[in-house]
Amino acid sequence: MTSTPEQPSATGAESAKTLWHGRFEGGPAAELLAYTVSLPFDQRLWSEDIAGSRAHVRGLARQSIISDIERDAVLSALDTTTAELSAGTFHYVDSDEDIHTAVERRVTELSGAAGAKLHTGRSRNDQCATDLRLYTKRALRDVARRVVGLQQVLLDRAARAGDVYLPGYTHLQRAQPILLAHHLLAHGWALSRDVDRLLATIERLDVSPLGAGALAGSSLPLDPLGTALDLGFARVFENSLDAVSDRDYVAEALFDLALVAIHLSRIGEEWVLWTSEEFGFARLDDGYATGSSMLPQKKNPDIAELARGKTGRLIGNLTGLLVTLKGLPLAYNRDLQEDKEPLFDSVDQISLALGALAGMIATATFVPQRMQAAADSETGAATDLAEWLVQRGTPFRDAHAVVGKLVRQTLAGEGSLAQLVAGDDRLGPDAAALVAPGVSVTRRTTPGGAGPQAVAIQIERFRAQVDSDLGRIDPS
Ligand code: ARG
């Protein structure tokens, strides 16, 4: 095996037989191993591989395919292997092309003839699919917990934001003032759909492929349902070909993670804007910003930028796998080994991004004066003026035109909007009061709207949603 930095330390000279040595006269070429090994990345699945082997060997004994003595010898070898892998003292050899091969080799070294029975009725095709499903269940649940961690930060900042308001934008043009809490929770609700999606993916992928064998099942009296339940799966496969060739769940996981990344990217983009001198809506804590190697005055929002920038990579991981799957004939093909690296990468990157953004937002300082000064531009209340006319019987389209004309006049320098409104016989001084700073946001009273009463209710609804999601992620 050629050595690259990610590769496990091989013991070098030792090289056990390949799993297929009986059929082959010659051993594997160095180039073949270098190109086809998956050990450098599938090592991560070792605990799932051990769990799968334990369940398999117990199933073999329950079905009297092996004796209880043989089962216990293999289980004890699996215990030793586990201890070595978790202590980092496990020795890989050159012919360990993947984690499945490495574990089986070691178990056979430790338990001899009994170990040689471990792979009875099993193929690496159902084995690697089992391992990856177990991993994906665990990893997506962990990501969901981290998503909730970010939601809790948004909730906390929203609950403490009080009546602070800022411009709400459409087309990145100031549209109407909104409470800061409302803005923060908009991202929070998007993330709660992510949690829901991750949990739905976990529920759908909760199917054991173990017992499908290479593709067609077995002549031995295996008990796939028994091993499924032993491994904590909710269900067992219905079709052995589908069981070993299905990677829909990896594609779904990659989509879920890419969409989380897209949500984080949108948050990131706003924080890049908010922390710019032009906006000045927020300042980053020193611990969550970077400086410049050359420009002494700089304080840069690198976390927010990478939350935006790394999203391309997560979308790439999804599209890459979809292309790999497209056109593959049934059942297992080695192409399917390409399922793991994108999944691991997306899980790792989203986990890092969630932690970094949560810390960045938790520690940042908002600048209400800047937000409110931007929101208090007089024309921000234009819609309130039109709605004021509507409440007094003017058709909305006419009201829109009346106010639009006054906006045009104020932009042409004919006076402040408040003056023009006060002097207009359809509007007058009562209406002009709507243009005063801080008034407009209080008028967004509809359910789910951006004003104080509606947002107070929303905060409690969001808190309840987060609590219930926590219970769904980790049912007690
Ligand atoms: N390492 C492979 C994978 O991750 C599993 C091995 C199956 N290989 C085989 N030749 N049947 O997909």
pLDDT > 90: percent of the chain: 91
Q: What is the pLDDT confidence band of residue 27, given thresholds at 50, 70 and 90?
A: confident
Q: What is the CATH number of the domain that holds 341?
A: 1.20.200.10
Which residue did the predictor score with more confidence, 26 or 55?
A: 55
Domain boundary among 120, 139, 169: 120
Domain shared by 364 and 378, yes or no:
no
Domain shared by 255 and 358, yes or no:
yes
Q: Is residue 336 lining ligand 1, measured as CB closer than 6 Å? A: yes
pLDDT at 16: 64
* Distances in whole angstroms, Cα of residue 364 to Cα of each of 67, 162, 186, 262, 355: 62, 16, 18, 22, 14
What distance in Å separates the CA atoms of residue 19 and residue 118, rounded to the nearest whole number?
13
Domain-embedded: residue 281: yes
Domain shared by 358 and 379, yes or no:
no
Domain-embedded: residue 193: yes
Residue among 171, 219, 293, 476 flagged as catalytic = 171
pLDDT surpassing 80 at residue 6: no
> In this structure, are residues 444 and 450 in contact, taking their beta carbons and an 8 Å threshold?
yes
Residue among 9, 276, 292, 468 flagged as catalytic = 292
Domain shared by 46 and 114, yes or no:
yes
Domain-embedded: residue 4: no
Nearest atom within ligand 1 for CA of residue 97: 1
Report, as an integer, the average pLDDT of 399-423: 96
Q: Is residue 94 lining ligand 1, measured as CB closer than 6 Å? A: no
Q: Is residue 128 lining ligand 1, measured as CB closer than 6 Å? A: yes
pLDDT surpassing 80 at residue 364: yes
Domain shared by 150 and 253, yes or no:
yes
Q: Is residue 124 lining ligand 1, measured as CB closer than 6 Å? A: yes
CA angle 238, 240, 241 (to 5 degrees): 120
Show the tokens assigned to 300.
């840069």
Report, as an integer, the average pLDDT of 467-472: 98
Q: 244 C-alpha to center of ligand 1: Å? A: 11
User: If you take atom 12 of ligand 1, which residue's CA is the nearest one?
Assistant: 337
* Average pLDDT score over the chain: 95
Q: Is residue 38 lining ligand 1, measured as CB closer than 6 Å? A: yes
Q: Is residue 337 lining ligand 1, measured as CB closer than 6 Å? A: yes
pLDDT surpassing 50 at residue 99: yes
Report, as an integer, the average pLDDT of 76-101: 97
User: If you take atom 3 of ligand 1, which residue's CA is the nearest one?
Assistant: 337
Q: What is the pLDDT confidence band of residue 95, given thresholds at 50, 70 and 90?
A: confident
What distance in Å separates the CA atoms of residue 26 and residue 130, rounded to the nearest whole number?
31
Listed residue (244, 225, 245, 243) closest to 235, CA to CA: 225
Mutate which of 125, 244, 335, 344 for ligand 1? The one with the most ligand atoms within 8 Å of its CB, which is 125
16: containing domain = 10-120
Mutate which of 20, 122, 332 for ligand 1? The one with the most ligand atoms within 8 Å of its CB, which is 332
Domain boundary among 120, 142, 161: 120
Domain shared by 362 and 383, yes or no:
no
pLDDT surpassing 80 at residue 2: no
Range with lowest mean pLDDT among 2-11, 304-313, 347-356, 391-400: 2-11
Q: What is the CATH number of the domain that holds 49?
A: 1.10.275.10
Domain shared by 387 and 454, yes or no:
yes
Report, as an integer, the average pLDDT of 198-209: 98
Most confident of 2-11, 374-383, 384-393: 384-393
Q: 45 C-alpha to center of ligand 1: Å? A: 13
pLDDT tens figures, 153-165:
999 999 999 999 9
Domain shared by 280 and 307, yes or no:
yes
Mutate which of 128, 131, 321 for ligand 1? The one with the most ligand atoms within 8 Å of its CB, which is 128
Give the total number of structural domains in the chain: 3
Domain boundary among 120, 153, 172: 120
pLDDT tens figures, 33-78:
999 999 999 999 999 999 999 999 999 999 999 999 999 999 999 9
Domain-embedded: residue 136: yes
Number of Cα atoms under 13 Å in the Cβ half of residue 92: 24
Report, as an integer, the average pLDDT of 421-441: 95
Which residue did the predictor score with more confidence, 297 or 8?
A: 297
Q: Is residue 42 lining ligand 1, measured as CB closer than 6 Å? A: yes
Residue 67 is a catalytic residue: no
pLDDT surpassing 70 at residue 100: yes
Report, as an integer, the average pLDDT of 187-207: 98
Give 320's contacts (C-beta < 8 A, 6+ positions apart): 338, 342
Report, as an integer, the average pLDDT of 20-24: 88
Domain-embedded: residue 475: no
Nearest atom within ligand 1 for CA of residue 334: 12
pLDDT surpassing 80 at residue 251: yes
pLDDT at 19: 84
Q: 231 C-alpha to center of ligand 1: Å? A: 21
pLDDT at 459: 98
Nearest atom within ligand 1 for CA of residue 42: 4
Domain-embedded: residue 245: yes
Domain-embedded: residue 394: yes
Mutate which of 49, 98, 99, 336 for ligand 1? The one with the most ligand atoms within 8 Å of its CB, which is 98
Q: 128 C-alpha to center of ligand 1: Å? A: 7
pLDDT > 70: percent of the chain: 97
> In this structure, are residues 321 and 234 in contact, taking their beta carbons and an 8 Å threshold?
no
Q: 129 C-alpha to center of ligand 1: Å? A: 9
Domain shared by 229 and 280, yes or no:
yes
Q: Is residue 125 lining ligand 1, measured as CB closer than 6 Å? A: yes
Q: What is the pLDDT confidence band of residue 292, given thresholds at 50, 70 and 90?
A: confident
Domain shared by 68 and 143, yes or no:
no
Q: What is the CATH number of the domain that holds 449?
A: 1.10.40.30
Report, as an integer, the average pLDDT of 221-226: 98
Give 177's contacts (C-beta < 8 A, 6+ positions apart): 165, 166, 167, 168, 375, 376, 380, 381, 440, 441, 450
Q: 323 C-alpha to center of ligand 1: Å? A: 19
Q: 99 C-alpha to center of ligand 1: Å? A: 10
pLDDT tens figures, 433-469:
999 999 999 999 999 999 999 999 999 999 999 999 9
Residue 171 is a catalytic residue: yes
Domain shared by 405 and 353, yes or no:
no
Domain shared by 413 and 331, yes or no:
no
What distance in Å separates the CA atoms of residue 143 and residue 149, rounded to the nearest whole number?
10
Nearest atom within ligand 1 for CA of residue 98: 1
User: If you take atom 10 of ligand 1, which residue's CA is the nearest one?
Assistant: 334
CA angle 212, 123, 119 (to 5 degrees): 115
Domain-embedded: residue 1: no
User: If you take atom 2 of ligand 1, which residue's CA is the nearest one?
Assistant: 337
